[in-house]
Each structure stands twice: as C-alpha cells, then as structure tokens.
Amino acid sequence: MADPVYTDVGVDIALEPDARLMLQVRDGDTQSFELLLGKHRLPVVSYLSRMVQNQAVGEELAQEVFLRVYKARASYEPSAKFTTWLYRIATHLALNSIRDRKREKNQRSLDEAPEEAQQLQVADRRSNREQELLAKVRLDAVREAIASLPEKQRAAVLMHKYEELDYAQIASALGTSVSAVKSLLFRAYETLRGKLTGLSRNYKTRAN
Amino acid sequence: MTREQVLERILDPSGPPSNTEQRQAFDAWLERDSELKEMYQEQQELFSVMDDWRPAEPSVGFDRGVYNRIAAYEAKLNWFERWFGGFRPAMAGAVAMLLVGIATVVVQRDQPVSTPEPAVVLVSAEDEQYLREIDLALDDIEMLADFDAFPLNEAAEGRS
C-alpha cells in the first residue's frame, strides 16, 4: 500500500511511483533520476516539439526541463503528481520559447522564407508517390492548424490529446482553473474541427 | 447524464464511456440531439487526423545533452552547494545541530563563575545617623584617651 501524502490543499493522495523516485533523487540517488529520465524523455520531447513546432528546439527545451528537475530536487515535495509538475515546467519553458521566437521573427526580414517551408518544397520535389505526399500535406495541415491556436489552447490540446493529462493536471500545468481548461479545450477543438475535418475528407477521397 | 457531461465525453480522446449504462445514456443523447451527434462524428474524425502526427524519437545524444547540462550546472556551484545541495533535509539537520552546539558553547563560556553572592545589607537613614553617632563617640573616646582618662575621674569628683 502506498504511503498517504498530505498535500498543501489538504487532500491525501497515494505516493505515486514517480514521486517516490523523485524523493530518492532528492536523497542523492542518481539511478532514480535515470529512471525518471528514461520514462518521461519521449513524452516531454514530443510535447515540447509539438508546442514549438521544431524537433531540435523541442529537444533543447526538454533537456532544460530535466536540468530544472535535477536542480529542484533538493526542495521537491510531492504535493502534486510528478507528471503535473513536469508539464508545468515544460509548459513554462515552451511558452517562453514561443514568445522569444515570435520576437525574433518580428525582427527578421519578412522576405525570408520559413525553414520548414523550404524543407517541404525540397521534399515535394523529391517525392514521387502521391500517397506519401498526401499524408505529408495532411500532417502539415494538422501541424499548421495546431500551431495557429493561441498558446494556451495549443498547450491544453497537446496535453489533453497526446499526453493524456486530465483537466486538473492541465489546469495545474497552465496555472489556471479546471473550468478555464474546459473552456480552452472546447474552443480549441471547435477551431480544429473547422479547419481539419473537411480537409481530412478531401485528402481521403483524393488518396482513394 | 447531462448535456455538459456528453460534451465532455465527446471531447475525450479516450472515446465514449465504457460503462454499459453510461454508454446507453450517451448514445441516447446523440440520437435525440443532432447537433451533438454531428459534433461527435467530427470530433472522432479530428482525433483520427491528429493521430497522424506521431511523436519523433529523441535524438541519440539526448541523454548525454541532459547530463552535460547537469555537469555544467554542477561545475558552477561552489563547494558548499555541491556537497550539500542534494541533501537539504540532512544538511538542515546538521546545520541545526551545529548551531545548537555553538550556542551551547557560547552560553557556557559567557556565564560567570558562580560565587556566593554577598549579603545584602539594607541601611535606613535612621540607622545611618545612629552609626555616625557611634562613630563620633568612638572618635571622642579615642581622643580623650590621649588625656590620661581624666575626664571620667574629674567629672566624678566635680559632681560630687
């Protein structure tokens, strides 16, 4: 039976395995840190890469997330689920990075073509199979639609759909209420349905 | 099941409820509310499209990057933080014990050696006057003693 933990909100929760590992990291156990890294590496990298729409930047940010986890080990208290805490750090870094990149983009020349668009053009020229191309276009449409969402809606959708976090966890990661998260998700999915469901049917028809 | 709960289920990536009773209630809602039904179908389609965006595996050097960052961070720390940074609870206990020890030594050193306190004598104004008179009388006796005990004898003779 897991040890009960009394949180700062007065609710007792079972001490989850990740929190237990983190407490061991706090006590200087480096193997526990390796286990946490191994378990959360892929979801954190995926979340951040999708948030910033760039794998390399996503990985850089994910490395920073794990560094922050390590740095905060001494003061770690299991008052919330470890995953929630992890995504709170990740979301904070992602939102900061998006804002920084926006500022940089504004300073750059408008004539400059985005890196990803250039890659797409190269890929288009090389690809000769229609199915692959359609799949890629469809994927790009998904990425573009998600990228066009306001930052908090984007974060909420990514955590909800891909990382399977519940409303309370998303609320904690975003520093908002559960009802606000429901509202964010409702609006985000509404936008995405409008942009992607019709396209999906078109691509499917063309692919068949 | 309320309409709001049905809406939440529609937006839930895990799909409709698995519980039979709830599933029936959910389906009944979709049957009688065409707006919800359309939304459900579109949402399922959306989830299917979103599933195409699969996560990319982190690069081979990802973990090395994390440990390099940790090494760079540790290199910046001073010796105190490096030794005790990871063991704050233990460090706090050790520091507390050290402080208590130092405080004990300081308090013991500052305390004066215990000596018996001198008796306190309270002297009133009357007592002071009395003591002064005794003092004067003793001075007089001493002074008269220089005159070879005369006064006492002469006085006795003169009075008689």
Q: Please list every residue in chain B whose beta carbon sits closer than 8 Å to the beta carbon of residue A26.
A: 86, 88-89
Tell me if B55 and A70 make a contact (CB, 8 A cut-off). no
The answer to whether domain A113-208 has CATH 1.10.10.10 is yes
pLDDT of B83 over the 70 cut: no
pLDDT of residue A107: 72
Neighbours of B73 (CB within 10 A): 14
Spans of all domains in chain A: 1-112, 113-208
Does the complex come out with an ipTM higher than 0.85? no
Give the H/E segment covering residue B153.
Answer: helix B150-159
What spatial distance separates the first Cα and last Cα of chain A, rounded to whole Å? 54
- Which pair of tokens denotes residue B107? 């308090």
Percent of chain B with pLDDT over 90: 38
Mean pLDDT (whole number) for B99-124: 70
- Which pair of tokens denotes residue A101? 């990149």
Give residue-wise pLDDT tens across range A123-159.
545 556 787 888 888 899 999 999 999 999 999 999 9
pLDDT of residue A24: 93
pLDDT of residue A80: 80
Give residue-wise pLDDT tens across range A175-208.
999 999 999 999 999 999 999 987 656 655 555 5
Q: Please list every residue in chain B whose beta carbon sits closer than 8 Å to the beta carbon of residue A185.
A: 11
Give residue-wise pLDDT tens across range B129-156.
888 888 877 777 766 655 544 444 444 4
Q: Does B42 touch chain A (CB under 8 A)?
A: yes
Q: Which CATH architecture has domain A1-112?
A: Orthogonal Bundle (1.10)
pLDDT of A5 over the 50 cut: no
- Residue B157 CA to residue B159 CA, distance in Å, equals 6
Q: Does B57 touch chain A (CB under 8 A)?
A: yes
Tell me if A160 and B13 make a contact (CB, 8 A cut-off). yes
Q: Are strands A12-14 and A4-6 parallel, antiparallel or unpaired?
A: antiparallel
pLDDT of A63 over the 60 cut: yes
